[in-house]
Each structure stands twice: as structure tokens, then as C-alpha cells.
Structure 1
Amino acid sequence: MEKKILATVNGMDITSDVLDRTIEQLPPERKAYFQSEFGRKQLLEQLVSIELINAFGLEIGVDKEQMYLTQMEQVEKEIRFNSTMNKIMSEISVDDADAEIAFNQNPGKYGGQQSVRASHILVDSEELANDILKKIVEDGMDFSDAAEEFSSCPSKAQGGDLGDFGRGMMVPEFEDAAFALEKGEMTKEPVKTQFGYHIIKTTDKKGFGTANFDDVKETIRTELLKEKQMDHYTKLLEDLKSKYNVTLK
């Protein structure tokens, strides 16, 4: 397919292909704007401006100055380094068998991130908290009804439900109690924190069991690939130090 020439600056063509590739390299939040007709026209003007300045730079001999030559040398080294690293790393792979061996050696490691879902009733005094516990345990009062009636936390509107949370998201005393409970279990006595006295009920737990291999296979492969690449890179550097002359001063 013939590339459409959008502009010519000092004999240098700017084609639709160049414009498209420039847009593709933009961050997603900017790409959408420059894909519009107005955005493409604006970007084309920027590319024209770049070619004009480049043409003028050649005219005044910037490409002969030492700073320019030094920077170009550095850019060339960076491109060569990145291209070489891409070639080296592309030759390293991890298959499903490698991932399964790693999984079987330590299945507990891949249980997933632990989180719980809990509801609570927050009051100012331990005495009131014990009275509420008695209503729930002995009198059969529903936990969510008790939360709506007695709790001072805004979560009372949801029956005390705080949603899902992981480690480090709640104060330690509350977190330790919620994570220690089994699913559906309630604290047998009030839990004191800086906010008051809590009656806590854990309604769900996630990430506590051993994961299914198929669910974590790609995660393991990615982890193993990074390890293999780093090991290969470290060994390669040692080999290259022996192959090429290195003098530290």
C-alpha cells in the first residue's frame, strides 16, 4: 500500500505512515486525542516544525559540534545496548513444566493475597458491647440489626459491613481479630481499639487456601522468567569480563 505524503520539508517527506507510528508511540491518554482529525493535523504541524529546525541545524553546522557528536555517540550506545538485551532475553523462556515444578515445590506460596470481609458494631463502652453480644448470642438478635441499632460507625447503614480489606488496612487490634476468625464467626468478647469497642464478624475470607495451578500458572512463569533472565545476565557479564579487557582505575 502506497504511503500518502502529507508534507514535504526541504525534500524530506512526512508520510501518513510516519504520523501513524508517531501516534502509536504516545501514551494512551494522549493517543486518543491525536487520533482525531484535528489532533492529527496538530501533530503533523509539530512534525513539520521538527524537520524545519533540523534542517536549520544542519545549515548552521550543529552536527559538527562536539556536544552533538558526544550525545549522538551516547544515543547509539543506548540503542545498541537495548537491542542486544532484547535479543539476549528473547532467547530465554519458561514452559508450563518448569512452572508446575516450581508450584509443586511450594504450593503454599501461591495461595493468593489474603483478604477478609467483615462487619462490626462499634460502641463507646465495653459494658454496652457485652450487652449487645448477649442480645446476639443469647437472645438471637440478628448481627446486622444490632449494628443498625447500636453502632456509632457510618457502616451501620450497611448492617456494619466494611467490605473486603487486606493486611495493613485496619488498625492492628481490629485486623488481627478479623483475620483470626473463621468465615461466619464472631468475636466472643469486645475488641478494644483507639476508636472504641468492636464486635466483629468475619463474613468471607480469600487467598487462605492453596491456589489451583492453572489459576497461577502465568504468574509463576513470569516470576521464573525474571529469575532466569537475571541469572543469565549475571553469568553473561562474568563471561564477558573474561572475554574483553576490563581495567578499573
Structure 2
Amino acid sequence: MKRVFPSTLAVALLTLLFVMAPAQAQTVLAEVNGEPITELQLNQIIAQQTQGGGNVPPAQREQFLEEVINLTVLAQAAAEQGLGDDPALQAQLENTRRTALAQAFVRTLSTSEPISEAALTERYEAEYGDGQLEYRASHILVEDRSQAEELIRQIQEEQAEFAELAAEFSRDGSAANGGDLGWFAPTDMVAPFSEAVQQIEVSEISQSPVETQFGWHIIRVDEVREREAPPIEEVQSELRMAIVNERIQRSLDELREAASVSYE
């Protein structure tokens, strides 16, 4: 569960953002039964399949174009057979549309306001400044508070083994390691979890369950140490990514707050 607390959606969109090909002129490279295949479409396919490595040799570029032509021929055949009316396929296409639009919105958030050197320095000081600590902690993640309270009782009153309870009850990937999250900085975790960790003494557990968007946590702090700060030059990319990701998450939170969402 280490370093996975920030919104996985925001992280996924941010990752996809950096493999998007830059916009190209709408030059038509081929037509299939009157349907154009543009340079922009080809460049995006190449970027997606090469993880952003759009500069491929001319011969390989021609191979990609032939693949796009093959895809177009097959797609046209599917449309002629009415396969586009299949509900599962319509859902897949709608999800693809939503993802593309979300990526476009994320791109505007990432490029509309350049990250200044002052912002990078401020972020560096917040993460690596003097007095920063790292924590090694374990946790048990369950779905409801009552179960978490019962597990705390078993640990405190029955001397139940934390690692055994984590392996049996925790619904987090760390369960296989007895709930061990390894070393992390407070900024690596969501606020409620981070704040709780900083209040718990070494070898002690949280006296009450800690709620986050992932569920209810029982936390044990195993070790604490001073964090050795790397040179800012070595972590600039990481700092930029963190700032952009926070910008995306903040915008997402605001949009969710303003949105009308009903569950049926």
C-alpha cells in the first residue's frame, strides 16, 4: 500500500499524459473506402505503442501505417455487420471517449501554469528540509469501523499478533507481508493516515481506527529515522510530478464537489 494513497485516477491520467503525441497537422496519409487516416492519428498510435517514443525509422513508420489501415478495414467490416450496436462495445467506446477528454483536460492543467523554481524549492524544503522524518509502519485495512475496533481489542487485550491479523483480515496488498508498508515520508500518504502515524509512538498501535478513502486502518509504527535529503537536482522531476499531480487532484476534488452525482 506504500505510495498508492494519492488518487489512482489522477496518477493514471498523468502517466498517460506524457505518452500523448504532440498535435500534428491534419495531413491525410491514406484513405480506406473514403475514410481518411491522418498524420495525427498515426502519430498517436505510434506514441501509444512505443510509450511516447514517436521518432521511429521511416520503414517502421510505414509498418505502423499499414497496421492502422488493417484496423480501419476491420472496423469498417464490423460496422457493416452492425457490431457497433453491441452494448458492451458501446460502453467500451464511451469509456475511451471519456478517457480521451479527461486526458485533454489534464493536459491543460499541466501546461497552463509553468512550475517556477521557487515552487520547486518550496516543495523540496517541505519534503526534504531539516527535521524531516521517515516512518516504517504496518497497517491492517478493513471495510468497517466495528471490525477495526474488534481487531484493536484483540491486539490490546488478547495479545493477538498484529502480522497474523493483517495476513488474515487486511484487504491491502501488504497483507502478505504482515501489513508492513516499508519506509515512507509523511507526504507519501494521505493526510489522515500521515497525521495518525506522526502521533503514534514506536511499537505502539493506533488507539482507535483511522479512516481514509480506502477504509479503516489499524496502524502500528515500527521505526522512525531522520530522512537524508538528496540534492535537489536529483529529485526535480519527482518534485514537478508531485506538484502537477496535486494540481490535478485539487481540480478533481473541486469538480466532484460541484458535480451532481446520483447512484442508482
Which one has the largest radius of gyration? 1
TM-score (norm 1): 0.41
With normalisation by structure 2, the TM-score equals 0.40
